[in-house]
């Protein structure tokens, strides 16, 4: 752990330890297999073989073993019985041996000496890819890998991808396998998780069984949107200045114009509130709103030309309201107030009304942005970590509280 912590001073591995050592784009967006695994852990209907597997695992892993090798050999043997066959090192390679699909690392008990198992798994993933003869720079794939982490009678799962660094994120909760026989909730959770694991391993095998494209793509798995039955292909710009906020820019593919678009990935969004304001001419046109695996949503809208400089505004561009002089904002007050009142009358709240979420063109045309907190009144709550330190907010704007008209 000491050696690893020194490496992390330079953020050698993007694993959220320490917190600043993180990639703003999570592995569940970089590789859909991980997002689908998260969904399946919660929704998979466990079958007889799933239930039998976790019962065998509970019986075996609840025992005490003289050393790590003995415990891990038993664990691999049980996995083999359900079709997940790992080699003697505890790994599953692609059929051509060029990629690692699954990495198993473990400790005999939680307090055992030696390297931390999540860190060990990351080290192996990087070493394997660096030793591989594959020309990584020519592939768009992020080389995803499933990590199975065992420590005593507990098990955890993580997903990692390899770009210029290894990015790793735990994908589900730690599961103790020494539950009481009457704890059906824990058993169901474990059965769903191992059912989800088997599905994910099969998908990973299929992924590496096909030729990996060499096109350089950002978020290559999400290049199409669906709206009212129509599918639209789009591409991403090479430079992404708002990547850390999961906001990307690109253009449509296949139409003559090549329209400029903005692509957002969010956990919560109100397409209804967005459409209401767009129909009034005060929000970008909403092109598509597509739910994605893993609790994500992809929002695609027209891109606005926003000038963030303090220099004279470019013709036709928008400027953040927050960068306008107070006296220049006054002519907009009545129109903005009217829009918000109409939004409330229709039953919606925005939740984050502040000057940073308004942009203005020609000192008269304005757009309202960021409907991440928006929703129906009395049904929509403030998210976690509402910033009240740097931003002035209504008195009732606290984590978990309902968003009212007064706070919208």
Domain boundary among 209, 238, 253: 209
The per-residue pLDDT for 228 is 58
pTM of the model: 0.91
List the structure tokens of 300: 């695609």
Asked whether the predicted pLDDT for residue 310 surpasses 70, the reply is no
Using a pLDDT cut of 70, give the percent of the chain over it: 92
Question: Residue written as tokens 């990996």?
Answer: 212
* Higher per-residue pLDDT: 287 or 311: 287
For the stretch 179-197, pLDDT in tens is: 999 999 999 999 999 999 9
Provide the pLDDT confidence category of residue 5 given band limits of 50, 70 and 90. confident
Question: Is 92 part of any domain?
Answer: yes
Nearest of 347, 339, 356, 355 to residue 403 by alpha carbon: 347
Query: Is 282 in the same domain as 384?
Result: yes
Q: Is the pLDDT of residue 1 over 80?
A: no
DSSP reduced 3-state for 71 = helix
In this structure, the answer to whether residues 192 and 298 fall within a common structural domain is no
How far apart, in Å, are the Cα atoms of 99 and each of 29, 83, 93, 216? Answer: 20, 19, 6, 19
216 pLDDT higher than 70? no
Is the domain of 200 the same as that of 244?
no
Q: Is the pLDDT score of 209 beyond 70?
A: yes
Length of the chain equals: 408
> Is there a single domain that holds both residue 12 and residue 101?
yes
User: Six-digit token pair at 162?
Assistant: 């390899």
* pLDDT at residue 229, rounded to an integer: 62
Rounded Cα distance, 267 and 12, in Å: 28
Confidence of residue 364 (pLDDT cuts 50, 70, 90): confident
Q: Is residue 192 domain-shared with residue 310, that is, in the same domain? A: no
pLDDT reading at 2 higher than 80:
no
Number of domains in the chain: 2
Decide if 219 is inside a domain: no
Higher-pLDDT residue of 246 and 218 is: 246
Given this model, what pLDDT does residue 303 score? 95
- Residue 333 in domain: yes
Last residue of a domain, one of 185, 209, 233: 209
The pLDDT tens digits of the residues spanning 14-41 come to 999 999 999 999 999 999 999 999 999 9
In a domain, 320, yes or no: yes
Asked if residue 102 and residue 243 are part of one domain, the reply reads no
Q: Does the residue 214 lie in any domain?
A: no
Report the C-alpha gap between 262 and 288 in whole angstroms. 11
Are 12 and 124 in the same domain? yes
pLDDT of res. 313? 56
pLDDT at 7: 80
pLDDT digits (tens, 9 = 90+) for 83-138: 899 988 889 999 888 889 999 999 999 988 888 899 999 999 988 888 876 665 55
The beta strand positions in 205-285, using DSSP E, are 224-227, 230-236, 247-253, 260-266
* Structure confidence by residue, pLDDT tens digits, 38-66: 999 999 999 999 999 999 999 999 999 99
Q: Are residues 197 and 238 located together in one domain of the fold? A: no
Please count the other Cβ atoms lying within 10 Å of the Cβ belonging to residue 255. 10
b/e per residue, 96-132, with b = 16+ CB within 10 A?
eeebbbbbbbbbbeeeeeeebbbbbbbbbbbebbeee
Residues 6+ apart with CB under 8 A from 279: none
**Alpha carbons 327 and 363: distance in angstroms, whole number:** 11
82 — pLDDT class (breaks 50, 70, 90): confident
Q: Work out the average pLDDT over 72-91.
A: 90
217 assigned to some structural domain? no
Q: Treating both helix axes as pointing N-terminal to C-terminal, what angle do 184-209 and 48-61 enclose, rounded to 10 degrees?
A: 110
What would the pLDDT profile of 311-352 be if each residue is shown by its tens digit? 555 667 899 998 888 898 999 999 999 999 999 999 999 999
Does residue 361 lie in a domain region?
yes
Any domain includes 390:
yes
The pLDDT value recorded for residue 164 is 79
Average pLDDT, the chain: 90
- Per the CB < 8 A criterion, the answer to whether 232 and 252 are in contact is yes
Residue 48 tokens read as 């007889």
Rounded to whole angstroms, how far apart are CA atoms 21 and 118? 15
| CA-to-CA separations, 341 to 221, 269, 349, 363, 397, in angstroms, rounded | 40, 20, 10, 21, 19
The whole-angstrom separation of Cα 150 and Cα 206 is 25
Question: Are 228 and 195 found together in one domain?
Answer: no
Q: How many helices (H) and strands (E) does the chain have?
A: 10, 16
Same domain, 47 and 169: yes
| Residue 234 and residue 199 in one domain | no
- Would you state the pLDDT for residue 358? 96
Residue 289 shares a structural domain with residue 194: no
Residue 215 pLDDT greater than 70, yes or no: no
Residue 12 pLDDT more than 60? yes
Last residue of a domain, one of 151, 182, 209: 209
Domain of 185? 2-209
pLDDT score for 407: 62
Above 90 in pLDDT, residue 224? no
Residues 184 and 54: beta-carbon distance below 8 Å? no
């Amino acid at each position: 752990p000491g050696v690893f912590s020194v490496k992390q001073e330079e953020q050698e591995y993007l694993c959220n330890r320490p917190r600043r050592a993180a990639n703003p784009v999570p592995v569940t967006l970089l590789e859909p297999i991980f997002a689908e695994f998260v969904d399946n852990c919660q929704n998979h209907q466990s079958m007889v073989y799933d239930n039998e597997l976790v019962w065998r695992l509970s019986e075996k892993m609840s025992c005490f073993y003289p050393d790590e090798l003995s415990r891990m050999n038993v664990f691999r043997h049980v996995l083999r019985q359900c079709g997940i066959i790992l080699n003697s090192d505890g790994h599953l390679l692609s059929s051509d041996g060029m990629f690692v699909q699954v990495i198993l690392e473990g400790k005999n008990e939680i307090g055992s000496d030696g390297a931390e198992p999540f860190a060990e798994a990351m080290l192996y993933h990087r070493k394997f890819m660096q030793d591989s003869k594959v020309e990584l720079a020519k592939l768009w794939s992020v080389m995803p890998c499933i990590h199975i982490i065992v420590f005593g009678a507990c098990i955890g799962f993580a997903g990692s991808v390899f770009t210029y660094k290894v990015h790793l994120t735990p994908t589900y909760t730690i599961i103790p396998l020494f539950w009481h026989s009457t704890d059906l909730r824990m058993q169901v959770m474990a059965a769903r998780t191992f059912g989800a694991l088997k599905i994910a391993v099969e998908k990973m095998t299929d992924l590496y069984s096909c030729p990996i494209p060499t096109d350089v793509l950002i978020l290559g798995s999400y290049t199409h949107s669906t709206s009212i039955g129509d599918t639209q292909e789009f591409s991403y710009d090479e430079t992404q200045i708002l990547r850390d906020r999961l906001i990307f820019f690109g253009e449509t593919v296949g139409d003559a114009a090549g329209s400029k678009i903005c692509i957002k990935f969010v956990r919560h969004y109100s397409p209804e509130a967005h459409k209401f304001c767009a129909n009034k001419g005060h929000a970008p046109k909403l092109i598509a709103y597509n739910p994605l695996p893993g609790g994500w949503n992809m929002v695609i809208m027209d891109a606005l030309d926003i000038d963030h400089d303090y220099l004279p505004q470019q013709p036709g561009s928008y400027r953040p309201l927050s960068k306008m002089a107070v006296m220049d904002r006054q002519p907009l007050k009545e129109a903005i107030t009217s829009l918000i009142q109409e939004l409330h009358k229709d039953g919606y709240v925005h939740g984050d009304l502040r000057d940073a979420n308004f942009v203005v063109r020609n000192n008269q045309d304005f757009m309202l942005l960021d409907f991440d907190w928006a929703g129906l009144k009395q049904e929509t709550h403030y998210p976690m970590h509402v910033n009240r330190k740097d931003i002035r907010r209504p008195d009732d704007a606290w984590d978990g509280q309902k968003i009212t008209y007064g706070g919208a």
